Amino acid sequence: MTLRKLMEEAERLLRSAGVEEPRIELSRDPRYGEISSLAAFELAKRLRKSPNEVASEIVDRIRSERMELVKDVEAVRGYINFKADWIKYSEEILKEILEKGERYGSIEIGAGRKIMIEHTSVNPNKPLHVGHARNTCLGDSLARILRFIGYDVIVLNYVDDSGAQMADLILGFTELGYPLDPPKEMRFDEYCGDIVYVEVSKKVEENEDLAERRRKIVEEIESGRGRCYELNKKVVERVLRDQIKTCWRLGATYN
């Protein structure tokens, strides 16, 4: 990175002036350049001189050295401030952008390390709403950032394909007369969440017999066998397919 080159040059110039352990940092005030060093304060104690005097001596030595990305060096109240040559600095930045393309700015801080991110993870009985999509975008953005800095990222979408929310759908399809195919111009996940689930869950709240039947369906789904279990697998797959299509439109993918 071009900034790293600038910092390395500042360190080289300090060493050429006799500073064995140059301490540099990004300047807090751009009026004083891009990089500052506290080296004069540490040397002043050993040399029994003022930081200002030591900084001036170091700057005088540096100015006789070859400078590339650094245009000038100044001593200000004991600080040694490096000012970039913005013409050369900009040329280096543009050169690096053209060389690296979309990888410009990437670093390898996570090289050789794996990290797992789980996001979206919406119950497979409804479509994604704005709140779900927000989590999808946040999770996918984080995964992209981590890949960009070198991590091997595994992205998971946990699917909770059991419980009362799924039993409501199966109850509606098997016993309350709801057809498996959605109305025209309506996706299956929308149909399940906005019509079947909403209406069936309301009926279950008002009817204890239906509530008991739902409990039986939950048990059958969790047993891993039976007609309700098999139908639930098909419903989950269809809803999940529609949910994933929504995520794909947002640019999010999963392992």
Q: Going residue by residue through the chain (255 aa), what tens digit of pLDDT does each one get?
A: 788 899 999 999 999 999 988 889 999 988 899 999 999 998 998 888 999 999 999 999 999 999 999 999 999 999 999 999 999 999 999 999 999 999 998 989 999 999 999 999 999 999 999 999 999 999 999 999 999 999 999 999 999 999 999 999 999 999 999 999 999 999 999 999 999 999 999 999 999 999 999 999 999 999 999 999 999 999 999 999 999 999 999 999 998
Q: Which residues contact 58 (CB under 8 A, 6 or more apart)?
A: 14, 17, 18, 19, 39, 40, 43, 75, 80
Domains of the chain: 2-89 (3.30.1360.70), 112-255 (3.40.50.620)
Amino acid 21: pLDDT: 86
CA 94, chain centre distance (Å)? 26
Q: Residue 251: what pLDDT?
A: 95
Q: Any idea what DSSP says for residue 21?
A: S
pLDDT for residue 222: 95
pLDDT (0 to 100) of residue 33: 92
DSSP state of 30: G
pLDDT in the model for residue 75 = 94
